Structures are given as C-alpha cells and as structure tokens.
Amino acid sequence: MPIGSLSDSVQYLKGVGPQRAKLLKKLGITSVEDSLYYLPYRYEDRSSIKNISRLAVNQRVSVRGRIASLELINVRNRKFSIFELTLTDGTGIVKAKWFNQPFMKKIFKRGQELFLNGIVKINKYHGVGYEMESPEYEFITDNADSFIHTTRIVPFYRTTSGLGQKTLRTIMYAVLHESLSIIHEFMPDDILERNALVRLDKAVMNAHFPETEGAGIESLNSGRSEFHRRLAFDELFIFQLGVAGIKRSISERRGISFVSRPSLTTNLIDSLPFKLTASQQKVMSDIFNDMEDSGPMNRLLQGDVGSGKTVVAVLAMLKAVECGYQAVLMVPTEILAQQHYFNITCLLKDINVNCMLVTSRTKEGNGSPDILIGTHALIQEGVAFDRLGLVVIDEQHRFGVRQRALLRKKGRNPDVLVMTATPIPRTLAMTLYGDLDHSRINELPPGRTPVETHVITESEKQKLYDLIKREVMSGGQVYVVYPLIEEDGNDALHSAELGCKALKQQLPEFRIGLVHGKMKPENRQEVMDDFNSGKIDILVSTTVIEVGVDVPNANVMIIVHAERFGLSQLHQLRGRVGRGKRKSFCVLLVYGNIAEVAEKRLMAMEKISDGFRIAEEDLMIRGPGDFFGTAQSGFPELRVADIIRDSHILEIAKKEASALLDRDPLLEKCPGLRSRVNSMWKGRVEFYKTV
C-alpha cells in the first residue's frame, strides 16, 4: 500500500505486518514519521570494493563475484558445522565461512552473483589464500537498483530481540524510498538559506543511507554531518516554537495589576534581622515590576541553595496580599511545606496576615486565608481560592509544564513565580524553562562559610565519629542521611533505622533523633522541631530533608552511601549546612566498589561548590535525556538533537523561532511548520490550535 501521509502506521508497509509492527513499537516507531527520525547510532563505510587479487589482511572490504562452490561440513556427529563458499571475481578466489549455521546452505546457489563484506583473514586451514568469517552478503539481481548492506556507507540501528539489524535496515530503506515523495519541505526558504541548511528530503535520506560522495564517516558517526545538523535544527526550532507559543499565549492574557500603597512589604523589610543582598533586591524589583504590569507574571527565580529565595517569595506574597489577593506557595513534599510554614510564620510574626498550612490531611472550611502554604493538595482538594492572585512554586524541578498550567487555572490568570534551588544549565534553561522569564540570585548572604567536603570509605569510619564528637561538643549539630528506610534484603544497604541504633551505641552521650518518610507527620514534625530548637544534636534521616530544611546551627552533613545519590541531590543535601557562622563539613561516606559515574559525581562534589557549575557537570554526566520526555514533565522528547552537542544550533534555532513569530505570530503563512509544532507538542500549545 502506498504511503499517504507521514502519520500513517508502519504496520501496513511492505515487509512489516502486525508482528514486526509490535517489535518496531518497542523501538518507539509507530508512524512513518517516527521511522524517519529513528536515526542510526553508527555507520560503517563499506564502500570500498576491491579485486580479490588485491586483498590485504585485516582490512574490511567489499568484494563482488560469483559463487564457484559451496559445501556444508559436519564435524563430530553433526554437533558442529561449517558452511563454506568460494567466491571468484576473475582475479582470484576468497572463501566465506559461517560456523554452526547449516541453514546458510539453503540461501546460496552455485553461480549466483553477490557482494560480500567482511574482514579479510589468511585461510587458517591451508595457511594460504584469503577467507572471511560471517561476512555480510547481498545478492546482485537484475532488479536491485541499490545495495544497502554492502558497497556503501551502511547504517546501524538500535534493534530489539526478534528484529535483526539486516531486517530493520531493509525496512528502513523501504520506508524511506516510499515516503520520499511525501516528505515536503516545511522550513521557510530564508531560514534554510541563512543557516545553510540542506533540504529536508536530502537530509532525511542521507542521515539514514548517506551518499558516499561528500559524507564523511566521522561527521556521520559523531552526529555532526550536514544532514544531522539540518534534522537537529528542525527539532530544536520546532521545540522553541512550542515554548515561545506557550510563553506568548500567557503574556497575551489579561492578568492582575498589583498596585496599592506598599504596607506589608515595607513592614517586613523593616523588621528583617538582615539586609537584603543586592541580588535579592534586583530580583525583587523584577518580580514587583511583573506584578504591577497587567500581563500575568510567568517567571523563574533561580538561586543556589541558601541564597535566600524564601524571603523574596514572601515579599511577593505580601505584595499580593496588600493588594487584596490571596497567594499560595506550593512545594513538593509535606515536610518542606511544614518547614516553610514554620519559617514563614516566624518571619511574619509581627505582620498582620492570615497564613494557613494545606496538606492532604487538612480539613476544609478555614475561612479565606491570605497565604496558603502546601503540597499538591493545593491543586487537588477543594481549597477555596476566591481571590487567588499569586502562585509561587518552590523547587520547580519536581513539577513540569502540566502542573504549572493546572495551578494557573485555579485563579483567573494569577501571576506565577517558580523557584528552583537546582540551578539549571543554560541549554536546559533555554529549552525546559524557555516559556518563563528568568531571574537569578547570584550571591549568597554575607558570612556564609564554604563547606569543606570529603569523600571517605567505610574503613575510615572512626574519623567520622571523631568529627561528630568534636563538632557537637562545641555546639554544632549534625545531619546523617541514608538512602532507604528499611533493610531491603541487601546487606550493603544500611538503613536509617539501623544506622540510628548504631550511632546511639557509638555516641551514647548525644541526643539522637530519627525522621523518615513513613513516620506519622505529627511525630516527624516533633522531631524536626526538636532539631530546630537544639534539643537534638544529631538528626538521622532519609532524604526527606533533601529540600528546603533550614537549621542554621547545623554544620555537619553526613551522607551515607553517597555513591547512590544523584549529583543535584548531593548538592541539595550539602546546602543544608554552611548557613551559620560555624565552619561546616560535608562527609560523603561510600561503600564497596563504586561505578565510574558515581565516582565522577563524588569528585565533582569535592571540588565544586558553585551550584551552577555542579548543574553543568550533572548534565554532562547524566546526558540530557534524563530531563526530557518524562510523561509528567509534559515536554516532548528530543529524538535527534542533543542539547550538549548541539548547543550552538539551539541558540540559533531559538533566535530564528522568535524572529519568525515576530513576522508571523500564528504561523499562518507556514501551515506545514504549524502542523509539525502541533505534532511534536501533541497539541499542548494551545496558541497554535486556535488558528
């Protein structure tokens, strides 16, 4: 059946069928378009065809000839077999051998003409003449117009069991050939010209089956050929059009202008025990400007752990309140909600506002508070938002575009401020956060002490007890963080509960508390309060304290099984200390043999303290795939582009996308492009749907 459109299912294509369609689906290929963007992960240059008389040992070559003889040799009662054929091209003969594949005998016939491609060896048995072991073969028939497994630059795809490389390659070739006539150029000519991009059909064809002329094998294998560049550009460009579309559609809505005589905000600033840093003042004025403006604010506030984002958020919330609106602060965990509630009510003790904590256990009907602090429960439960004006989302990296949109719908275009303490590398910021305006707090409050970080192994544990003793005796407090709560049958994994017992035995003179995610929240809160007020010296915990917890007197962070934590998690945890006057320490305790990536993370922790550099490092170690395409984030997956390798393409694509939207805001003049945006974003960019 001929292909009608790129969205056709691959199942009905020649050589596919239901069985193979299932296997292709495992590879993420359901439509014809999917297959066009399922690029090879490597290429092999098999284009050199040699006369048999000119073969040289250990080279990969293609030869062309006729089968002169063939033979299946059974050895030792058929337990072992060799299938052998001899190929001649008039200049010499070469043998091809396949071990234990007796069925090969049925494939070949004497006199057939074919290509072989393989590595040339000296014939082991005779010690003279050449042979190839399990070469690729391809028959030369009258109607074959092209060879795809030999005599060319040959693509290799990631396969799945049940679908061999050769079969997949054959399918890909057929799909490409059948769809070539319906791959229509959708990119405006001026963009193609300005950026010296090859045309779409050429790029697609060559990214799979490169013409030998002009396609360097290295540039193909590194994903930097002109064909890859075109396809990566498309993907990033379409991604940016989506991001910009979301951004523009929000800024076009009518939002709230928060204007009134400042009262609560100035009261708070006057009552603070510290002066705002220059950086805090700068972001505060960005935020206040947005709030006073009539369009809805849609801003990302970045700042390293401990840079003082909370007070900025509180000032924004007070501004909303003094203008007669409600503000909410949404955070990812209950413990963080409680901690924020505790800190914020302290901060606001002399200011007349009504603050409320909302978690999954909150009963309804508490009037209409000015400030609500809570978890997801804020979006899910029937909390009354009669005057919702400002939404602040803390620790943004836990929420995606979906949740942002949900909260926005809770009010009539409320202002949205998202905050993150996981600094975002520039390339990610341009993609995953491209729909937001950006502000950054780039300094820490004065008097912060850098945290001295050490990786130690289990055998050096005594050092750790010494450190804890010394620091607690001189008035400090200690966090000990474990990756899991209970033994999961794995001896190597020390649980927080067992760890707590062991610590109590080792250090009976100290007061030790335990918190973990499975505790009743009331009990957990009690322990946290005791740690806050200094009644507990050492707090053993699981990662529940990862984000946001703020106890300035705590100065030692011990992370047990540090090799099991991600880099940004380690940085977050370390950010719990170094907040007070006391010198602070972070000890990364590791067990057993550590994987190479874990080693890289630990080394980065020892040498880097700046959150932005940590984030860049994290992106390099993990690769960008981790950040995209998770169902909950709502972002499309990138199939061709790699934002690290293609960061320069990303910059250009972003500029071109925004220039195009200035000329043609609804993409009315580029329907092909608009449908590409809708298909990549699965219709999530409402902006273009309205056309």
Are β-strands 153-156 and 42-45 bridged in parallel, bridged antiparallel, or unpaired?
A: antiparallel
Of 486, 487, 464, 467, residue with least CA distance to 476: 467
Please report how many Cα atoms fall inside a 13 Å half-sphere around the Cα of residue 169, on the Cβ side: 20
Q: Which two tokens stand for residue 226?
A: 């002109």
Give the span between the Cα atoms of 562 and 281, in whole angstroms: 36
Smallest gap, in angstroms, from Cβ of residue 344 to Mg ion? 11
Query: Which of 149, 309, 319, 654: binder of ligand ADP (CB under 6 A)?
Result: 309
Closer of 263 and 277 to ligand ADP (Cβ): 277
Which residues, in sequence order, are CB contacts of 432 under 8 Å at separation 6+? 424, 627, 628, 633, 635
Span of 3-11, 19-27, 104-112, 309-317 interacting with ligand ADP by CB under 6 A: 309-317
Span of 164-172, 274-282, 383-391, 406-414 interacting with ligand ADP by CB under 6 A: 274-282
Q: Which two tokens stand for residue 608?
A: 């880097």
Q: Which amino acid is at 343?
A: N
Closer of 418 and 685 to Mg ion (Cβ): 418
The position carrying tokens 């050490």 is 454
The position carrying tokens 């649980």 is 495
Of 468, 475, 478, residue with least CA distance to 507: 468
Closer of 70 and 551 to ligand ADP (Cβ): 551
Interface with ligand ADP, residue 332, by CB under 6 A: no
Span of 302-310, 361-369, 431-439, 673-681 interacting with ligand ADP by CB under 6 A: 302-310
Residue nearest to ligand ADP (CB): 308
Query: Which of 150, 151, 179, 307: binder of ligand ADP (CB under 6 A)?
Result: 307
Contact status, residue 421 vs residue 547, Cβ threshold 8 Å: yes
Give the span between the Cα atoms of 81 and 550, in whole angstroms: 71
92 binds, among ligand ADP, Mg ion, none (CB under 5 to 8 A by kind): none
Smallest gap, in angstroms, from Cβ of residue 562 to ligand ADP? 21
276 binds, among Mg ion, ligand ADP, none (CB under 5 to 8 A by kind): ligand ADP
Contact letters (x/-) for Mg ion, 546-585, by CB under 5 A?
--x-------------------------------------
Which residues, in sequence order, are CB contacts of 161 under 8 Å at separation 6+? none
Q: Which two tokens stand for residue 391?
A: 């939404």
Count of chain residues binding ligand ADP (CB under 6 A) = 17
Q: How many CB atoms lie within 10 A of CB 334?
A: 21
Interface with ligand ADP, residue 93, by CB under 6 A: no
Smallest gap, in angstroms, from Cβ of residue 633 to ligand ADP? 22
Closer of 309 and 654 to ligand ADP (Cβ): 309
Smallest gap, in angstroms, from Cβ of residue 303 to ligand ADP? 5
Give the span between the Cα atoms of 327 and 281, in whole angstroms: 20
Q: What is the DSSP string of 617-654?
A: HHHHHH-GGGGS--TTT-PPPPSS--TTTTHHHHHHHH
Of 258, 421, 414, residue with least CA distance to 331: 421
- Residues, the chain: 691
Smallest gap, in angstroms, from Cβ of residue 183 to Mg ion? 49
Interface with ligand ADP, residue 305, by CB under 6 A: yes
305 binds, among ligand ADP, Mg ion, none (CB under 5 to 8 A by kind): ligand ADP
Residues 490 to 549: which contact Mg ion by CB under 5 A? 548
Interface with ligand ADP, residue 333, by CB under 6 A: no
Distances in whole angstroms, Cα of residue 328 to Cα of each of 318, 369, 371, 377: 11, 10, 6, 12
Query: Which of 49, 93, 269, 276: binder of ligand ADP (CB under 6 A)?
Result: 276
Closer of 230 and 309 to ligand ADP (Cβ): 309
Closer of 440 and 494 to ligand ADP (Cβ): 440
DSSP category for residue 1: -
Contact letters (x/-) for ligand ADP, 519-558, by CB under 6 A?
-------------------------------x-x------
Per CB under 5 A, residues contacting Mg ion are: 548
Q: Which residues bind ligand ADP (CB under 6 A)?
A: 274, 276-277, 280, 303, 305-311, 421, 445, 550, 552, 579
